[in-house]
Amino acid sequence: MAERLSLSSRHRKMIEALLRRHLPEVEVWVYGSRINGRSHGGSDLDLALRAPRLRRIDADRLKALSDAFRESNIPFLVEARDWACLPENFHREIEKNHVVLVYGEQSTEKPRF
């Protein structure tokens, strides 16, 4: 698993704050170019949102989070997808290479970068 996240600490803090405000119980995994060494400054940030017991996240809450990202000063696209809505083959690919950005409220573990 990748241990390095290509994201400035300033932007990481902004993203984490929005995630904790809108979906505090959700564990968030980063996947894609921001962890596989192929990103550049304008690369999007791909997030998989894993609700407790991997249940679906309410659509209104997802929209509020998406709106918050869009209205923020984050200078790149943040793509946040509900794990429960992703196809199984996507799950397998993400599980192979991801970094945990935010642990859910009930987790005692801390992110490692």
- Over the stretch 38-76, which tens digit does the pLDDT of each residue have? 888 889 999 999 999 999 999 999 999 999 999 999 999
The single-letter DSSP state of residue 37 is T
Interatomic CA distance for residues 38 and 15, integer angstroms:
20
Residue 112, pLDDT score: 44
The answer on pLDDT for 109 being more than 70 is: no
Residues acting as catalytic residues: 44, 46
The answer on pLDDT for 1 being more than 50 is: no
Task: Say if residues 84 and 94 touch (Cβ distance below 8 Å).
Answer: no
The single-letter DSSP state of residue 58 is P
